[in-house]
Amino acid sequence: MAHSGSASGADRFKALYNLLSALSRARVLEDLYDAALSSLMEVTAADRAAILLFDEDGVIRFKASRGLSERYRAAVEGHSPWPRGASDAPALVVPDVLAHADLAPFHDALREEGIRVAVFVPLALDAGVFGKFMLYYDTPHPFTEDELEVATAIAAHVAMATERKRAELERARSEQRLRTILDNSATVIFLKDLEGRYQLINRRHEELFHIPEQQMVGRTDFDIFPAVVAEQFRANDLAVIEAGQALAMEETVPQDDGIHSYISVKFPLQGPDGRATGVCGIATDITERKQLEDASRHLAAIVESSDDAIIGKNLRGIITSWNRGAERVFGYTAEEVVGGPVSILAAPDRIDEMPRILAEIAQGRRVDHIETRRRRKDGQIIDVSLTVSPVRDGAGRIVGASKIARDISERKHSEQERALLLAREHEARRTAEQLHAVAPRLAAQLDMRKLVQEVTDIATALVGAEFGAFFHNLRNEKGESYMLYTLSGVPMEAFAHFPMPRNTEVFAPTFRGEGVVRLDDVRLDPRYGRNAPHHGIPEGHLPVRSYLAVPVISRTGEVLGGLFFGHSTPGRFTASHEAIVTGIAAQAAISMDNAHLFEQAQRAQAELKRSNEELRRANQDLEVFAYSASHDLQEPLRTIALSAQIIERNYGKQLDEKDAVFLANILTASRRMGVLIQDLLAYARAAKSEEGPAPRVDSAAVVSRVLESMTASIEEAGAIVTADDLPAVAMHEGRLTQLFQNLISNAIKYRDKEAPRVHIAARSGDGCWIFSVTDNGIGIEPQYAEQIFGLFKRLHGREEYPGSGIGLAICQRVVEQYGGRIWLEESVPGRGSTFCFSVPCDSVR
């Protein structure tokens, strides 16, 4: 049985054992082929061997060979005695390859390679032939049944091992592929068993939750997520197992950057028996999409709740969206207008505006905040502010426009109102400024006649009247009121023929002080034209249409007059003119009051001056009279006295007793009268002012001269007269002498029982020198302190103390001429008196 060169049975067994162990150790197919060829050559003593397998394309190719040339392999590759997949393919032994007709195409190659015998051993499994073993002998070789059997057995093992290995590699490859897919997937993929223990996670899962797969396997969601999250997952997993089919569910999970939302497609994993073994999940992060959704929902809500009209339209001007604001602003509901042309909103005067805007939009330009007008459903035209922006599709093409329209009618209205208010404010300010400019001029004008003219002129100019008149009441000295008028804009003659404004319904309110009358057209006023004889404006009167009349009322409420303005065209006088004239009228009233007071004051002053003058003249007359009378009276008095003395001397002894008394009376009376006349003359002289400025005079010297002249009476009375240091004063010497003469002689004359003591002193005070003459005489009752200075005023009978009551009156007149005064400073009856007089220090006449 054993053939020379062939292995024995034991060797064969050993070879097979080696082959099996090699096969089981083989890590790659090449190892496997190598082991197979070694075993084959060992047990069959073949010179060469090869293993060829069908590739996917159905062509059989060398996978391993021993001892074959490249050239040969290339020549025979692709040849197989059996088609791929053939079942029950027999091994084929070709004892002489060159004699075998089927191999004819390869004879050259075989010859060249030096091959004589070839054995084809199929490699087959259930699916049929998938390859072959080739054994080659260079010399004729009786290939035995035994050898064939062993070769076939080896082929069967190798076929099985090859297939197993290939399947194993295939599985590993597909697993690798799957893994690659899993790990490169942007979605999170995982497998869990029925208890929720992870069995597999992909790389995305690892990345997101920072746990590598090895650590993750065997752990559950409760190990890695907060309980509330894990519970959610678990409940969903169980629902999937319960349902027995794939379910899509939304799940949320915390990640590094916050909570993420996932759409998880979960399906049950099934074992071979169809029972669930776990859950597979494929979770896609939809956070961004959700955010976008939220954002767009938010946006939609904003659009919907906006007060502005937000309208979508395509480039053909067809409305595509219409929010509630649009309903409110334009009055149409979305159902009414969506799908219809936006041109229904066009205001009649702006029909061509919309196509222009669409043209801009088509160019990709935005139309920003234009203010225009649109028409509402109810036909009302409203002011709107428009912003129109292009809308682009995903590819950036402009497909339409979104338009935001804001109803600005109200704003426009308030803008207009504001403009009006501003204008009014401006007017008011102008009025105030004008009045401000006018007021000082009027206030400064105290001449009533000029004042009323100025008021009329200013007011007429400021209101732009063609003419103005100021009818004003005046009062004459007797307090009787009468009316005058001034005119502006026309000569006085224009009014000369017309009577004063009559008490008509148009004029009267002004003179009654009832307020302003402003008429755009006086002829249209119901009060106009009712009075005879003219029934309106008299013939020849200036034409008046615009009429403005403002009363001028004094502080005391007395209507001082009325300002009247006229213009021959209607509607000339405005509210601001009214304000101006009202202001001027108020100012005029004040100024007129002032002018009036000024006039009164002027008049009072003039009156005072006049009566002073009268008084002065009367005084002068009196002085002249007193002087001339006393002077003229002296002459006849002297004649009487002389005649009486002659009668006494010549006939004194012949007269009887009665006649002698009469004669004595004549003599006494004429003597007294002489004294009286002297005194009167002195008084009259005292009233006459001295000529020229008062010289400075030494009062001490004056006093001593006076005392010298009085030596006789001083000695006779046994009087002692003393004096302090006396100052020099500005006074005419004669006057000062008069003063001291009167005061010192009174001090001696009105002595009591004791010898008289007289003291003269001077003190300065209050800008003047005050001289005092003090005596120890009879004194004066206080109630007579003033009276004693009156002309002819005496407190005693002539028998008691001689005198005419003129001395103190003269003193008073003298000091008053020098701006001083005289008074009884102190007097106690029975104890004495002190008389004082003052002379201003800088006294000049």
Fill in the amino acid letter for 173: R
Fill in the amino acid letter for 329: V
Residues across the chain = 845
Single out the residue of 796, 828, 830, 844 in contact with ligand ADP (rule: CB under 6 A). Answer: 796
Provide the minimum distance between the beta carbon of 831 and ligand ADP in the complex, in angstroms, as a whole number: 11
Single out the residue of 82, 750, 769, 837 in contact with ligand ADP (rule: CB under 6 A). Answer: 750
Nearer Cβ to ligand ADP, position 260 or 735?
Answer: 735
Indicate whether 807 belongs to the interface with ligand ADP (CB under 6 A): yes
C-beta separation of 817 from 839 below 8 A: no
Provide the minimum distance between the beta carbon of 823 and ligand ADP in the complex, in angstroms, as a whole number: 13
Indicate whether 805 belongs to the interface with ligand ADP (CB under 6 A): yes
| From 469-477, 556-564, 691-699, 740-748, span contacting ligand ADP (CB under 6 A) | 740-748
- The C-alpha atoms of residue 385 and residue 117 are separated, in whole angstroms, by 103
Beta pairing, strands 258-270 & 276-285: antiparallel
Nearer Cβ to ligand ADP, position 504 or 745?
Answer: 745
Single out the residue of 93, 719, 780, 815 in contact with ligand ADP (rule: CB under 6 A). Answer: 780
CA angle 340, 343, 346 (to 5 degrees): 145
SS3 at position 38: helix
Nearer Cβ to ligand ADP, position 346 or 806?
Answer: 806
C-beta separation of 266 from 279 below 8 A: yes
Indicate whether 808 belongs to the interface with ligand ADP (CB under 6 A): yes
Single out the residue of 47, 383, 407, 775 in contact with ligand ADP (rule: CB under 6 A). Answer: 775
Nearer Cβ to ligand ADP, position 445 or 774?
Answer: 774
- The C-alpha atoms of residue 750 and residue 484 are separated, in whole angstroms, by 70
- The C-alpha atoms of residue 735 and residue 841 are separated, in whole angstroms, by 16
Indicate whether 814 belongs to the interface with ligand ADP (CB under 6 A): no
C-beta separation of 729 from 845 below 8 A: no
Count Cβ neighbours within 10 Å for each residue of 414-451 and write b for 16 or more, e otherwise.
Answer: eeeeeeeeeeeeebeeebeebbeebbeebeebbebeeb
Indicate whether 738 belongs to the interface with ligand ADP (CB under 6 A): no
Nearer Cβ to ligand ADP, position 268 or 779?
Answer: 779
Single out the residue of 548, 803, 814, 836 in contact with ligand ADP (rule: CB under 6 A). Answer: 803
Short-list 581, 570, 391, CA closest to 470: 581
- The C-alpha atoms of residue 289 and residue 260 are separated, in whole angstroms, by 11
Single out the residue of 401, 549, 778, 814 in contact with ligand ADP (rule: CB under 6 A). Answer: 778
Single out the residue of 431, 804, 812, 838 in contact with ligand ADP (rule: CB under 6 A). Answer: 804
Indicate whether 719 belongs to the interface with ligand ADP (CB under 6 A): no
Indicate whether 717 belongs to the interface with ligand ADP (CB under 6 A): no
Largest CA distance in the chain: 248
- The C-alpha atoms of residue 484 and residue 443 are separated, in whole angstroms, by 21
C-beta separation of 719 from 757 below 8 A: yes
Provide the minimum distance between the beta carbon of 683 and ligand ADP in the complex, in angstroms, as a whole number: 10
**What burial class does residue 151 get, using C-beta atoms within 10 Å of its C-beta: 0-12 exposed, 13-18 middle, 19+ buried?**
buried
| From 26-34, 372-380, 665-673, 804-812, span contacting ligand ADP (CB under 6 A) | 804-812
Count Cβ neighbours within 10 Å for each residue of 216-228 and write b for 16 or more, e otherwise.
Answer: beeebbeeebeee
Short-list 164, 132, 160, 151, CA closest to 65: 132
Provide the minimum distance between the beta carbon of 829 and ligand ADP in the complex, in angstroms, as a whole number: 9
| From 224-232, 268-276, 458-466, 799-807, span contacting ligand ADP (CB under 6 A) | 799-807
- The C-alpha atoms of residue 615 and residue 611 are separated, in whole angstroms, by 6
Single out the residue of 747, 762, 770, 822 in contact with ligand ADP (rule: CB under 6 A). Answer: 747
Query: What residues from 681 to 700 belong to the interface with ligand ADP (CB under 6 A)?
Result: none
Indicate whether 812 belongs to the interface with ligand ADP (CB under 6 A): no
Nearer Cβ to ligand ADP, position 506 or 788?
Answer: 788
Indicate whether 833 belongs to the interface with ligand ADP (CB under 6 A): yes
Single out the residue of 388, 404, 723, 788 in contact with ligand ADP (rule: CB under 6 A). Answer: 788
C-beta separation of 550 from 581 below 8 A: yes
Does the N-terminal peptide bond of residue 390 adopt cis geometry, omega within 30 degrees of 0?
no
Single out the residue of 408, 490, 640, 795 in contact with ligand ADP (rule: CB under 6 A). Answer: 795
Give rounded-to-5 percent helix, strand, coil for the chain: 45, 25, 30
Single out the residue of 710, 794, 813, 837 in contact with ligand ADP (rule: CB under 6 A). Answer: 794
Nearer Cβ to ligand ADP, position 202 or 833?
Answer: 833
| Residues making contact with ligand ADP (CB under 6 A) | 742, 746-747, 750, 775, 777-778, 780, 788, 793-796, 803-809, 833
